[in-house]
Structure 1
Amino acid sequence: MPQPEKQLNPGASPQEWFGNELRVRRKAELLSARALGKLAQVSDDMILMIEKGQYPSLQLEVARQLDRVLNTGGVFERAWPMAFDKADADKTRPDAENRSPRRAEGTVQVQAGRMLGRDEPSPRPGSHEPVYRRSFLQAGGLAALVPIDLVDAFTPPRFVLPDSVGVSTIEEVREVATVISGLDNKLGGGGMVSNVASPAMQWAAGLLEVRCPEHLRPDLFAAVARLGIVVGASAFDAYHHAYATDAFAFAADCAEEAREWHLRAKSYSFLARQAVWIGQPDDGLTYAEKGLVRSDRITPTEQAMLHTARARAFGKMGNVRDCLAAVGQADEAFAQARPDEDPPWMAYYDEAQHNGDTAHGLFDLVIEKGQDPGRAARRFDTAVRGHSNDYKRSRAISRTKLASLIMATGDPRQAAAIGHKALDEAGRLTSRRAADDLRQLGAFANKHPRVQEAAALRERIAATVSA
């Protein structure tokens, strides 16, 4: 039998008032939680948690979306500061002391996005809220779009910049992005790669304040957006999450200014993946859905990439039906892929990458919901066999997840053999994501104390990866 709805007391707390108001207005529109979630680009679980007063860190952008969908005239946006006080929440976050001081609201000039109107990425817990605000700074008589906090974060006063930007400078930005991306895929985002990526980002962001001919400005913003994605991906892999979020959001802003739909989709894909990884699948789903806005403007490969992000979010939520549906949508889009139509930076998303990414969503369903492991195992195996040496990190991660899947559901001896191969490769990477996956494999191996092969693998993982 379905469970009765929780009875709310609107006077008990601002959050319960907010939740009760949402429930009343949703029902007045004859919408289910699932239907409202789709319209607002969030999950039905999130809608229900808000209605119960059990979602303490609601983003302002979600409140605005609810206002738009339910035509409230701004009720939820006005109630948001009372019900979800981010200033208090920031004080409890581990990284609150490390963040830049918030600038006065009066100094911020907010501009509407050029592609979709006001469409800034929604800030996540642990990220810089002001980074999503736009400010047009006068530079040599030209307006340069720069998110405020990133001016300080990426362009210290001592950094030397050219007097003007031309075609050759823009090409340098593109080449740097390609080099860092290659190093990141082979070695991981830590160590030397991180040391290269950060100064490159400082330099490229600073170029947006340098004089540039008007006809070259879209190309400059697109090149910087691409570099922002690459540097964000490197920081994500090294677990520098606040910096990664800033870089991805910066890239999304630059892509908007350049009217570059492909880079916009890629920025939101990474924001979605990172959100899922750090345990915020609702936010991940929202980012993926935003990336799919005007999907007719992006290629089938990019659509597959974003549906895969949706699948990973649903998988992390334990939502079997929607995860499987998203995997199906990803497969359908990928079947229509035409590599010659894709931007150059999408070349990585081949059959191996697609299978590995979709398998991650299915993996969570196997471990948490007892679903058939065969589908995920086959996809991981395809990924392992398909990844070249240029994508050692992806190959190592897929092999590790395959070993974990078999260790948890099948023959531990077979899993141990695969796990040792994964260690041979992952042990040489500076990827904290790969290291965490190895720790998970060790935890699964620990459940087979009497199997010598599993015990040996666990010991080797412990010796290779610091606790």
Structure 2
Amino acid sequence: MASSKVTSSQPTPARPPRPNLVFRELRGQRSPAEFAAAVRRAAREIGERVCCDARYVGRVEAGEIRCPNYAYERVFLHMFPGRALTDLGFAPRASVRGRRAQVPGETHGSHEPYETQNTHDPLGHHEIHALHETYEESDVLRRAFMTGGGATVAAASMGQMGPAFDAAAAGRPVRRPGTSDVYAVEEAVRRIRLLDDRHGADGLYRRASTPLRAAYALLDAGATRQTTADRLHSGAGELAISVGWLAHDSGRFDDARSHYAEALATARMTGDDGLEAHAFCNSAFLARDAGRPREAVRAAQAAQRVGRSLGSARLMSLLALREAGGWAGLADRTGCEQALVRAQILYERGRSDADPEWMSFYGEAELEGLEAQCWSTLGDWTRAARHARRAAHLQDPHFTRNIALYTAELADDLARGGRPDEAAAAGMRVLDLLDQVQSSRIQTMLAGTARVLLPHRRASGVSGFLERHASLPRTA
């Protein structure tokens, strides 16, 4: 590709961004976090998926984003019908197409077009939040999301992450990483989370290990600026946790333990309390699933010690649930109940700007689902089924994997609680979702339910479930 002709070696003087006062007025009395939640809800209403948070809202209001990408445009126009982008305080798309913000440490000719304010902050105090919010959406990737299977989607999503990132993934020497490489790492984390929500882990794990190796190769290359290095460490740690979760959910517990340990070491090297709390949180969940409940309690308590300073009640609520799961595994009903009560109280304090981005999955459905698992472990099948049913009902339809997970939990609780016909019906609903979801965890749960239902083959619907389950292809 021919490079653009440069007519001057002097950079164009940057204009300060102009605040978007119209957008600020539309937010009204809602906090940035509350407005971001409204944006995400509106996106789900029209089948879009955006990772809007308070920081993104702040960037829009500060004028850093002169014109949103196409996904956000559709969401905003849905939220404010009858208005054009210019009525929302944005610049016309034609006036910003092809422009981009220059980022420190980046060379010319190795970037994509941005749709943001064309500014440059030499002090590095004014960085763009996320690659996926400024790139124009890829039609190829979008079609892969809509029509592809897990492997197809993963292949489309893990490529084209940026020149340095791709070079690192291929094992080639890379230049010192800059802000654009940080964006690529952070985007890889978001893509993995999105794909897991929709399709489950089994088709993604092996492909996701490539961007993880690339992230740590970029760390080894060494960033020139400390702010870039810190963000790269944080991004690499979050990526290690995401890949670890894929290993965890697909039954590769030793691999998951290794990835979580890698994330924990990265967090401690840089003093990143948020990353450390996340790593301990996932380690607690893994320990519970791997049959090490005392370790689960200790890891959850360690996460709470480091997470307390972060100021997020929702984070502390989730960590209390992780502790409750460990106590349940130890058959300590009192310890479990106390942790569950604490989790509920903390949850009811509501969301805040301090909530980590990775906790977007944690809503009332997940709270109910994790409590169901605790009661199931304690053998209280009736209470477990009640919470599992609530979880499946409350879950946003975009989180296909979680709907399948909660419904599988419900089927198992009903089967063990002596309600085989209802269990078979729930199991059938899970089987209907398995063409979209690939999760060894869910398949293992279904297999356990099928074993429990075998003596009840004559009950209504049970034989049909057992026959259909038996016809499933066996995963390696």
Relative to the length of structure 2, the TM-score reads: 0.61
Aligned residue identity for 2:221: V
| 1:369-410, Cα deviation, whole Å (9 max, x unpaired) | xx3x34322321221112223321111111011111112214
1:302 aligns with 2:315: yes
1:241 aligns with 2:253: yes
Gaps of 5+ in 1: 1-154
1:202 to 207, 213, 225: 213
1:181 to 190, 193, 217: 193
| 1:76-121, Cα deviation, whole Å (9 max, x unpaired) | xxxxxxxxxxxxxxxxxxxxxxxxxxxxxxxxxxxxxxxxxxxxxx
Structure 1 equivalent of residue 400 of structure 2:
392
Aligned residue identity for 1:345: W
* Worse-superposed segment, 314-323 or 177-186: 314-323
Q: How does 1:325-336 map to 2 (within 5 A)?
A: 325-336=338-349
1:402 to 399, 404, 410: 410
Structure 2 equivalent of residue 254 of structure 1:
266
Question: RMSD of the TM alignment (CA)?
Answer: 2.1
1:314 aligns with 2:322: no
Distance (Å, rounded) in 2 between the aligned partners of 1:175 and 1:156? 15
Structure 1 equivalent of residue 446 of structure 2:
438
Structure 2 equivalent of residue 124 of structure 1:
none
1:457 to 460, 465, 468: 465
Aligned residue identity for 2:279: S
User: 8 Å contact 1:189–1:234 — kept in the other structure?
Assistant: yes
Deviation at 1:171, TM superposition (A): 0.9
Structure 2 equivalent of residue 23 of structure 1:
none
User: 8 Å contact 2:169–2:214 — kept in the other structure?
Assistant: no
Change (3 A) 1:340 1:375: farther
Change (3 A) 1:214 1:341: closer
Deviation at 1:465, TM superposition (A): 5.6
Distance (Å, rounded) in 1 between the aligned partners of 2:263 and 2:221? 18
1:274 aligns with 2:286: yes
Distance (Å, rounded) in 2 between the aligned partners of 1:175 and 1:423? 32
Aligned residue identity for 1:436: T
Q: How does 1:75-86 map to 2 (within 5 A)?
A: none
* Worse-superposed segment, 179-188 or 419-428: 419-428
Structure 1 equivalent of residue 232 of structure 2:
220
Deviation at 1:273, TM superposition (A): 0.8
Structure 1 equivalent of residue 387 of structure 2:
379
Q: How does 1:411-450 map to 2 (within 5 A)?
A: 411-450=419-458
User: 8 Å contact 2:315–2:356 — kept in the other structure?
Assistant: no
Distance (Å, rounded) in 2 between the aligned partners of 1:330 and 1:306? 8
* Worse-superposed segment, 288-297 or 351-360: 288-297
Deviation at 1:324, TM superposition (A): 1.5
Distance (Å, rounded) in 2 between the aligned partners of 1:172 and 1:243? 24
User: 8 Å contact 2:249–2:440 — kept in the other structure?
Assistant: yes
Q: How does 1:335-346 map to 2 (within 5 A)?
A: 335-346=348-359
User: 8 Å contact 1:427–1:465 — kept in the other structure?
Assistant: no
Deviation at 1:308, TM superposition (A): 0.9
Deviation at 1:262, TM superposition (A): 2.0
Change (3 A) 1:323 1:437: same
User: 8 Å contact 1:182–1:390 — kept in the other structure?
Assistant: no
Distance (Å, rounded) in 2 between the aligned partners of 1:429 and 1:317? 31
Deviation at 1:156, TM superposition (A): 9.9
| 1:123-148, Cα deviation, whole Å (9 max, x unpaired) | xxxxxxxxxxxxxxxxxxxxxxxxxx
Gaps of 5+ in 2: 1-166
Distance (Å, rounded) in 2 between the aligned partners of 1:347 and 1:426? 23
Distance (Å, rounded) in 2 between the aligned partners of 1:426 and 1:357? 21
User: 4+ runs of 1 displaced by more than 6 Å?
Assistant: 155-158
Change (3 A) 1:314 1:161: farther
User: 8 Å contact 1:356–1:383 — kept in the other structure?
Assistant: yes
Aligned residue identity for 2:171: F
Change (3 A) 1:397 1:312: same
Change (3 A) 1:295 1:190: closer
Deviation at 1:354, TM superposition (A): 1.3
Structure 2 equivalent of residue 263 of structure 1:
275
**Identity of counterpart residues, as a percentage?**
24
Deviation at 1:267, TM superposition (A): 0.9
Aligned residue identity for 1:329: R
Distance (Å, rounded) in 1 between the aligned partners of 2:278 and 2:350? 16
User: 8 Å contact 2:250–2:441 — kept in the other structure?
Assistant: yes
Deviation at 1:208, TM superposition (A): 1.4
